[in-house]
Structure 1
């Protein structure tokens, strides 16, 4: 009987300890496409999240005077809006205390309504469509510049710096691709009202054959082709442009601005052919922080940062900072603090405007030289 009583007491003690431990766990949801054509970017995002959680553990974060452990629940949206909302609901049901993601604007926008209804803060490290933060959801934030700035800046650069006078535009009909293409055209026309738009074509996010639209574009003899979409389509598109003898410059947003583009284009992204922009970037004074992050990433994963890992890292660190400052991981309590946060990240100062967009979002222009993505300049 005495043994049985001790056994029960020990079991209760273990159960209590387990319960107490569970209360000290802060669960963050992370959604990215780790399947489908953008899986290399989704995995890059996951790696950035893992680095952030490891660094938080090493730091020994305390909230409410108690040490806490951050864990990440990873979900795959495959870059598909329907799968994205399913993933979002799964995270809500799991009662996560914050969400980092998604990558694509087409998945981020519908998922954001689900998080908003549940009162869960969401920081996207990648989605650039202006629609995302214009829905007036106080739970929606992003740590990169939106398409108004990205597309508009590229449009002005195309006519002012690259001397483009006859432009053709292709987009993949996604929220991101169509949005950035539209903003590019607005920016080009504003910078030079007389610029000729000699072709507007569209494809889809899984296309592999562009012969019909490129043949039509070739007949218009453009000096620049802008593509709104991701590198998984942009690379093969570049390759087929070269095969058809289209000698125009090629331009795109952050979706094509990856280390993988040269490989995906089979070398068609030759020296000076491509100009693209990342929706983010660091000024000279922040370059060492970014270089250190990239070096740590490469040492840990044996490969270079693809694109979004530093922004995922900063998004998690910013969310954790807000929780520390609010002295609570409850969404309703730390959300107002997050909205007013000033967090110094590896990508720069994270501070949000009333819509949830990052203030003074930077863009980094790149080209490719010798098959290597090469930084041109940072534009604020």
Structure 2
């Protein structure tokens, strides 16, 4: 999740159609001349939320480019939609977007959404239409797992008798929260912590998961919990002072940058607690967070729900090729390669359907064929590792990565594979560096 230089992408409108020129890539079929097949995309791509959505969109574009812009003689295109309203992700806008994608007779599958609350709203719409969704970043477990802590049941999001159409290539918050809790207690040596959330599906869920594990690690009385309303809150000093009086020495925030999750960090120095670690999930592993934290960005740490591509030797060439095509300082994000893998899985499923004689012009039948092929994904070799989907749509990969903000020199920043403050800004050389990973599937 990071911010692009928006001027470069001003042409990426909410209803833009991005068609990639045909070439000699891996899609096969000798170029696209039979018609157009589109992969829909729904991500937050404007305002503060663009720090998450635009680099993720780049991963989809890159997958289509690597496929040569075509598959089995059909042109591959992207039907792109922005689900941000007023700079923040919006579930109602997401529903509007997927309804539009369903009604588009070229769209046979989609990548997205980015945020779990949007996924919760979209699944009931896409499921009856058999439109495959692969999220590169949804981490709320309740979308697929019927846990006692869930406020809804995943089966209630899907129409009875209709096969599952929702998949994700990332791990979930019931792993992401505990990973950071263990890191905080065992590595950072934190014994008491303030836990903050911004009252969203994602924020509450990941904060709950962190809190439960931290209490197991540190014992009863080891945390103080508080919440804020991102629509009305601009001053967190009373909350921060409450954590200070409690005896905390760090803060964990369950939230996202477009819901102001990193703005409290900027107010900590004046209260004498600017040296505290400020921890969170993938919602704060963004360039927007680095900028919002201002001169207190050092000490911010975050998790992401997947492997770090930079730690995978076989991914080096893919990242290098990506940077040749996407040259902006903030074009690469936490979930760029997850989106690349998600789109690549869909392209493989589309090719399999075409090779089996399915006709994209018979849209409902073709969408179901693609869905069935995605559901059968087993041992897919992607840039981030091997993906197998279970019956619920979850990936077999259970890796959580931990990152911390550090000051980097200009040459390291220019490599373009780190999440740093916005290019040209005061924090442009403050970047999230990989620290370690937890493999819950090992």
TM-score of the two chains, using structure 1 as the length reference: 0.86
Q: Which of 251, 263, 267 pairs up with 1:240?
A: 267
CA distance in structure 2 between the partners assigned to 1:318 and 1:205 by the alignment? 37
Contact 1:37–1:206 (CA under 8 A) maintained in structure 2: no
2:188 matches 1:162: yes
For the pair 1:71 / 2:81, whether they are aligned, the reply is: no
Match of 1:90 in 2: 100
Mean Cα displacement is larger for which, 121-130 or 353-362?
353-362
| Alignment equivalent of 1:128, drawn from 135, 139, 145 | 139
Kindly indicate whether residue 386 of structure 2 is the aligned counterpart of residue 349 of structure 1: yes
Query: What CA deviation, in whole Å up to 9, does each residue of 1:315-339 have, x standing for no partner?
Result: 1101111222343461212322211
The answer to whether the aligner puts 1:374 opposite 2:433 as a matched pair is yes
Structure 2 CA distance for aligned equivalents of residues 102 and 205 of structure 1: 22
- Cα contact 2:199–2:227 (8 A) shared by 1: no
Q: How far is 1:269 from its partner? A: 2.0
For the residue of structure 2 that corresponds to 1:154, the secondary structure is helix
Q: Is the 8 A contact 1:130 1:148 kept in 2?
A: yes
Q: 1:292 to 1:267 in 2, by over 3 A?
A: farther
1:23 CA displacement: 5.7
Q: Give the whole-Å Cα distance in 2 for the aligned partners of 1:284 and 1:126.
A: 18
Q: 1:132 to 1:76 in 2, by over 3 A?
A: same
| Deviating more after overlay: 277-286 vs 180-189 | 277-286
State which structure, 1 or 2, has the greater radius of gyration over its C-alpha atoms.
1
Does the 8 Å contact 2:170/2:397 carry over to 1?
A: no
Partner Cα distance (2:279, 2:219) in 1: 19
Residues 1:103 and 2:109 are matched in the alignment? no
Q: Give 1:295's match in structure 2, choosing from 320, 329, 341.
A: 320
User: Match for residue 399 of structure 2?
Assistant: 362
Partner residue of 2:424?
none
Q: Measure, in 1, the Cα distance between the counterparts of 2:204 and 2:400.
A: 19
Superposed CA offset, 1:265-286 (max 9, x none): 113122xx22211111148873
1:321 and 2:370 aligned: no
1:260 Cα shift?
Answer: 4.3
Kindly state the Cα deviation for residue 160 of structure 1 after the two structures are TM-superposed.
2.2
Rounded Cα–Cα distance in structure 1 between residues aligned with 2:125 and 2:232: 26
Instruction: Quote the residue 1:114 is aligned against.
Output: 125
Question: Contact 1:350–1:359 at 8 Å: present in 2 too?
Answer: yes
User: Relative to 1, partners in 2 of residues 1:285 and 1:239: Cα closer, same or farther, differing over 3 Å?
Assistant: closer
Question: 1:359 offset after TM fit, Å?
Answer: 0.7
Which whole-Å CA distance do the structure 2 matches of 1:55 and 1:283 have between them? 17
Measured at CA, do residues 311 and 205 of structure 1 come closer, stay the same or move farther in structure 2, by a change above 3 Å?
A: farther
**Matching of residue 177 in structure 1 with residue 183 in structure 2:** no
Distance in 1, Cα, partners of 2:368 & 2:431:
45
User: In the aligned structure 1, how far is the partner of 2:173 from the partner of 2:268?
Assistant: 25
TM-superposed CA distance for 1:195, in Å, is 5.2
In structure 2, stretches of 5+ residues that fail to align are 1-31, 146-153, 159-163, 361-365, 408-429
User: Which structure 1 residue ranges, 5 or more long, are not aligned?
Assistant: 1-20
Report which of the two has the higher share of helix: 1
How do 1:17-56 and structure 2 match up within 5 A?
24-56=35-67
Return the alpha-carbon distance in structure 2 between the equivalents of residues 203 and 72 of structure 1. 35
Kindly provide the CA deviation profile for residues 66-104 of structure 1, in whole angstroms up to 9, marking residues without a partner as x.
x12111110111001111111111111114211111111
CA spacing shift, 1:210–1:253, aligned 2, 3 Å: same
Output one character per residue of 1:209-235: Cα deviation in whole Å (capped at 9) or x when no partner. Answer: 323322322322311210011134233
Distance 1:222 1:340 in 2: 47
Aligned to 1:152: 178
1:332 correspondence with 2:368: yes
Q: Per the alignment, do residues 267 and 297 of structure 1 end up closer, same or farther by CA in structure 2, a change over 3 Å counting?
A: farther
Give me the whole-angstrom Cα distance separating, in 1, the residues matched to 2:68 and 2:310: 29
Show the counterpart of 1:141.
167
Q: Kindly report the root-mean-square deviation, in angstroms, between the aligned alpha carbons of the 2 structures.
A: 2.2
Q: What TM-score do the two structures reach when normalised by structure 2? A: 0.74
